[in-house]
Amino acid sequence: MKDISICLNGEVRQIAVAPNETLLDVLRNRLGIKTPKEGCGRGDCGACTILLDGKAVRSCLILAIEVHGQSITTLEGVGANGLTALQKAFVKNNVFQCGFCASGVILAASALLAENPQPTESEVREALAGNLCRCTGYEPIVETVLAVAKQAARQPAASRRTRS
């Protein structure tokens, strides 16, 4: 076992991890973080997506021991101080059905909009290509991300900075 220190949703956490433990298992089974889901367990479905130093990554493919000193955001952290505009729009548009993919989709779309606030439709589709959804057919997901980006562009810069 080796001690690692991470910033998890804004809080510094220390935990001893085995060399072969995935970040997904440590988050779900030992740190009480349940929004990243285990779908395929091999990098194909995106259900386990988290933000690692702001980038959307598959937590099933990363060993916990590798993330020492890094910052991790899960959906618990994204919605902690009230839903973001993206989350509100997903709820309002009734985008998800079973919700299994929702955490990964929201985090991947959040990372995209943080890096590229005005993506094209193809950029949204490319950013979400690794997040499989067996329910929606993707159209409502893509349309909602584009609508939120368009809405943000219409807002004054000061209010955009407060919440995206």
Binding site for ligand FES (CB under 6 A): 38-41, 43-48, 58, 60, 96-101, 133-136
Count Cβ atoms below 10 Å from residue 104 Cβ, excluding itself. 28
The amino acid present at 11, given as its one-letter code, is E
Q: Closer to ligand FES by CB, 3 or 44: give it.
A: 44
CB of 15 to ligand FES, least distance (A): 20
Provide, rounded to whole angstroms, the least separation between the CB of residue 20 and ligand FES: 16
Task: Closer to ligand FES by CB, 79 or 99: give it.
Answer: 99
Whether the CA torsion 38, 36, 42, 59 is positive or negative: it is negative
Nearer to ligand FES, 83 or 163 (CB): 83
> Cβ of residue 29: shortest distance to ligand FES, in angstroms?
14
Q: Quick one: 1 or 98, whose CB is closer to ligand FES? A: 98
Three-state SS letters, 118-129:
CCCHHHHHHHCC
Residue 82 φ then ψ, to 5°: 105, 150
Nearest C-alpha neighbor of 128 from the set 151, 112, 140, 146: 112
